Structure formats: C-alpha cells, structure tokens
Structure 1
Amino acid sequence: MPREEARKLLTLGGDGPSLKDWARVQAFFEEISVGIESLEPSHLEYSEVQKGAYDATLMTEEDSLRSTDQSLRGDAYRESRPTLREGAKATLAAAAIEGGTALALAVAEKRRAGTQLRDFTGEDWANIAGEGGFGVAKGGVRGFSIYWLTNFTATSAAVASSIVTAAFGVAEQANKLRRGEIDELEFIENAELVCLETAVSALPSCVGQALIPVPVLGNTVGIIMYKTVSSSLSQREASLIAQYVGEQRALDEQLAAEYRELIETLDASMSDYLGLLERAFSPDLEVALLGSVELALELGVASEEILDSAETVLAYFLD
C-alpha cells in the first residue's frame, strides 16, 4: 500500500504490523529482483510448512500432482486414441486427395505431350479417369495404412507412406511376373528399382510433411515435388543416365571377372602355402627340415640366412 495509506492504518496501534514493519517490507522488495506482485497466497496452512511437518506436506503434494498428471494423461489418451470413425475419415481424405492428384498429374502429362485440353479425345479422358480412379484406390489404402501405422506402431507418416508405395510397386512387378511379361531376374531388378525410387521419394515426403504437418497432405506435397523433379529430365539427361547405367553394368561385369581370377589365384597360392606348412611341421624330421627351408624361401628369407645343413647350424650356434 502507499506510504500515506500505511501511515493512517498502521499508526492506530494494537498488536498488528507497525509502520516500521511496512518500511522493512518495502526495503526488502527494493533490494531484490522479485516484485511483490510475484507473490501469491499459499493454499497451505501455516502449520503444514513448519519444521517436522513439511516432509509429510511435500509427500502429500507429490501424490496429488502425480494423481493429477495421470488423470490428465488418461484424458489426453482417451481424446487422441484412434477410432474407426477417424480411420474412415483419414481413408476418405487420402483417397480424395491422391485421386485428385493423380487426375491432375494425368492431365499435366497429356499437356506436356503437346495435346491441348480442347483436343482431348474420349479415350484420353477415359485414361485420365482410370488414372484418377486408381489414385482413389491407392489413396484409400495409403490413408488407412498411414493411420494404422502411425497410431499403432512407432512409424512416421512419411516412412509409412514409403512402405505402402514400395508394396504397390512390388505387387505390380509380381503381377507382371505371373502374367509372364517379365522373368525372375527382371522381377528382382525392377523390385530393387521400385524400392530405391521409394527411398528417394521418402525424402521430399518428409520435407512436405515438415512444411505441412498433416500426414496425407505432407505426403502428397512430397510426391508432387518428386514427380516434378523426376519428369523434368530432358532426353539428353535421360540418355546420359542410361549411358552411365550401362557403363556401371559393364564395369561391374569386368570387376566380377577380375574378382573371380583373384579368388582363383588366391586359392592356388593358399593351397601351396598350406602344403608348405604341412611339410614344415611334419613329424618326419627330414621332411620338416626341407619344408622349413621351402617355407623360409617362400616368405622371402635370404638363402644365406637359412639353416639348411648341419654345417650352417653349427656355424650359427658355435662361431
């Protein structure tokens, strides 16, 4: 309270605080950084914070805080736990978004080929509608999978989407294998490429999800980013990449042949070396002596330093 008000109230006498007490309190708060407005009245009684009693008070407060924390956690979990209705919403939203995205990409692809919108034929629109319908189906599966993986497992939305995308791609290659369109080797190679492409597309999906923290929308942004980059390669760049892949395959075949030759040489050398060791440690002393000499020569020991006769042995130890 202001000094004038304190002087009026505290000069009445009695057992209450005096003006000197008021001055002492004012001086205390002027010397420290904590203002009096920072203080709040305690809900504890004076007797509960005295020596000998505050331990029990602290334990009671800890129990109360722990109980409140558990209650809040329980309420938060009940409000956020997955439900069938939310799963259906995620599935429908993903189907609509990915279907619309597939439709837009199909139209854009036709436009990049040089066809104007007014020149689209019924077959073109049928193909576009097919792409959109397939996108709706894929989006529904993707949305349900993302919702299930992100809520029931420790999987991020981008990774979950990549898993589903890879599953779609491998399933498509498996279908081609069943129809006889590709052989087993092509199936393995194509499946590897699908998984590699999925791993690459996971990065922009993560970026898209970081920009838009909604799993389905973030993944869609990532897919559009990846498709835009991958489809922007010119014919010259694509041919350079194809040439590079061919050179890498030729180099791989060359290195594989050299590797086989080295393995054969190593096998032959190891066989000779094991033969030398067997002779060097033979129970027959004469064979062991000759084997030791051969082993020493094989390992590069100078011939004049090898003890290969009784004379050289005596000279080494007695001279």
Structure 2
Amino acid sequence: MKENIHPTTQIIASMVDAENLNRARELAQDLSRQDSAFADALRQVQQVREFVGSPEHILGNLHTKHGEIAEQVEVGIRNARDLVHQLTPTASFDGIGRTAPADYCIDQVEVQSKFVNGVGKNLEHVLNHMKQYEYFGRNGSYYHVPKDQYEVMQRVAQGEMVEGLSQTSIQKIREKIQAVEQLSGRPFHEVVKPGISNYSEVQQGKVQDTLDRHEQELKETQKDLKDKIRLEHQPSLGEMAKVAAQGAVIGAGLQVTFKLFEKYRQGKNPFKGDFTSADWQELGFATAQGGATGGVSGAALYGLTNFANLSAPLAGAVISAGFAVVAIGKRYADGDITLDEFLELGQIACAESAIVALSAAIGQAVIPVPVLGALVGTIAGRMIMSFGKPYLGEAAEKLQKRLAAYYNQCLAKIDRAYQEVIAQIIIKYERLGDLTQAAFDQTKNTALRLQNSIQLAEVYGVPQTKIIHTIDELDAFMLS
C-alpha cells in the first residue's frame, strides 16, 4: 500500500487543483459579466443626465418641464436597475411619440406619467386623461404619479387622517379616487401606481442630485452583487464532500489497478479464473483501503488548498509524507524495522515534501545549495516526528534528541546570516505543529476539529473574516 500512496495523492492533488482553477475561472468570468452589466447601467444614468442637461430641448415651460424629466428618470433608472442585475430592461420609449396618450411602456404595458403639483390636482389630471382616452386605465394600461403623492392617496383611500390636509381636501381626494375606480371598473391601485421619484426630485434644480443618489445606489448594489458572486464561488464543505468522493473513486480505481498488476506479475489472471477466494478478498480490501485513503486525501487537499491557502503541490506533498510516515511508523511499532531504519525511511519519504515546503517558505530568497541540504534534512526530520510520534512510544524522545543534534550540527557549519534565515523558516514550520494532522483527524469530536481548523487557518494567515469559528457560523455558511 505504501508505495502507491504517493502517485495516488499527487493525482488527486492535480484533480483538486483543476477544481480550484475552474472555480477561480468561473469567478473571474462572473465578475467580468457583472462589471459589464454595471457599465451598461451607468450609461443609462448618463443618458438621463445628457437629456436634463439640455433644458431647451425639454417640452413645456419653466414650470412644467419636470413632467418630461420625470419620464426620462423613470425609464432610465428602471432600466439601470434591471441592467445591474443582468436582467433585460423593462422600460422603453420605443414606438411612443412625445405627445401620445402614453409616455412610455413598462413590460410592454402603456403608462402615462402625471407629475402635477398637489395630490388633488394630479388626480384631476388623471381623470381628465381617462375621459379623453376611454381605453386608458381599462385595458391594463395605468398611470404613474409621484411616489410621495401616491402614499397620501393610499392613506386617504384607507380612511386615515393626513397631517397638513383639511377634512375638505381629504374628502375631495377620496371622491376623485372613487371616480377613478368608477371610470375604470378596476381597483384604484391597479389604475394608479407610484413612480420611482417624489415630486420634488425631478425638478430642474434637484434632478442632478437625484441622479447622483440613484448612481450611488447602483454602486452599492454593484458591490453587494459582486460580494454575492464571490461568496457563491468560495470553497464550501459541499464541494469538499464532492472532491472527497472523487478522490475515493480515484483512490479505489488506482489501488485496483496496482493490485491487479501485482497479481499479474505473480502469474495470476482474473479473467482466466486464476484468482482464488483469498485473492478476491485481498483485491476487495485493497479497493476499500484505496477508496478510504483517496477520500481522506481529497478532503484534506481541498481543505489545505482552499481554507489554509496552500498550493496543491505543497498540500499533496505534505499529505503524501503523512501517509508514508504513518505506514513506516506501523512497521516500527510491529517490530519489522529498527529506529534507525524508521529514521532513514522517514527522511526519504519526507524529502520531497520538505523540498516543496521549503520552496513555498523561502519564496524569492536566494539560498546556497549547502544550506538547502540542511533545511531539507531538518524539515524532513520534523515531519517524521509530527506524523510518526503515535508509533514511536519511548523512542520518541531519543529520536527527538538525535534530530536536534543534527539540526545544531548543520547550523554550526553555516554562516550566521543563513543561520537566521533557517531559524525563521524552522520557527514558521514548527508553528504548524500537529495542526494540519489534527484538523483532519476524524477520531476527534466536532468541536475539537473545528478549533484545530481555526488554529490551522490562523497560522497560515487566513483572514479572520474568512474563518468559520462556530457551529452556528458553519450552519449559516452551508445554508447560504
């Protein structure tokens, strides 16, 4: 089993890396699409700015130009809100003249905008329009009035008192609301609806401020949408389970292949009936063992590469070394090898992991080749102690002293400047302690595993805002 752990883990590491790259690619694509949608939304606002910036082209006199301004704001901002959410714009002036019965369409339904000063006067203009165009307000078309005026109309319709209005004014408004319902044969709220603007917001002296506010709202919406996209593409425990399942399949498949080839070299062909009952049992055990190892490797690799910010090669190397040292530790515990053999085999098994870990640790630093040998040996020794301690028993202390002596001997042969570099790297490595192993130890209870995972993430420098600290936070993350 032990000789097949390394290729299996590296294959699974490649699979995990591909999954991570694919998720990162999809994130970049979704963010790019959202940026394009936001740019389209801002163009809608800019078109409204250009319209209101040329008052000489707006219909009406100084006191009535706000009517057409309200129309432009309604259509432009509605479409901007649709576009930032990557929806098809719903409002349009297409096919409607500037003096037609309708001012614009929303969802292909005709809408007449009435922005007249005073609730009663606005309703009077609505009634006059309904009398002039007998189909309007009856066939699904409707009227838009200022949002703040609509709130007053609704309160009056519900029999409430409105501050600032006399009882006579309230009664007249109520009568006009009833007249709208009688002419249309429909409930008032289906014939008259609120626009997106208050009356004061579309006046020539205020509309630029209004557009500034809408643009700021779009920017806030954009930020929320991009945050949501990032959250949707974050690593998740659900994806970890998927990767673990894929790892189990890969591990089982490779173990079956290795075992069949091993039996074939022994002169046994399962397709010719050469397998005994014991051979089939051995194959089944190898398959189960490979599946279990692959599943654990997949979950651990996913966690290390996503939650602990390790590269796939480094994560794969650490896990490969862990499995190898565990296998060697069992042989030592069973008395098959001596402590010296355990140390020698462990160093060989951990050498690659130490080199990969060293590369990740030193980054762009330039370190001479002799120092690399010392570092590789030192880190390999610490990995042996970390993974093999449960099997060493009383020999652990003896081995620890030997490794410490080796470390000190290496340092004595190296310049002081490089000694400081090595010391910093070793300190950083030792901070990890048993956290990587403990974070994925299924024998520990949930709370302890969670605490180990938190400590591991903190050591690797994961921001606190990205760390799940409690079971409640975990539940919220899984259900989001």
Report TM bin, short chain: 0.3 to 0.5
Kindly indicate which of the two structures has a greater share of residues assigned to helix.
1
Instruction: Name the larger-Rg structure.
Output: 1
Task: Say which structure, 1 or 2, has more relative contact order (CA 8 Å, 6+ apart).
Answer: 2
| TM-score, normalised via structure 1 length | 0.42
| TM-score, normalised via structure 2 length | 0.29
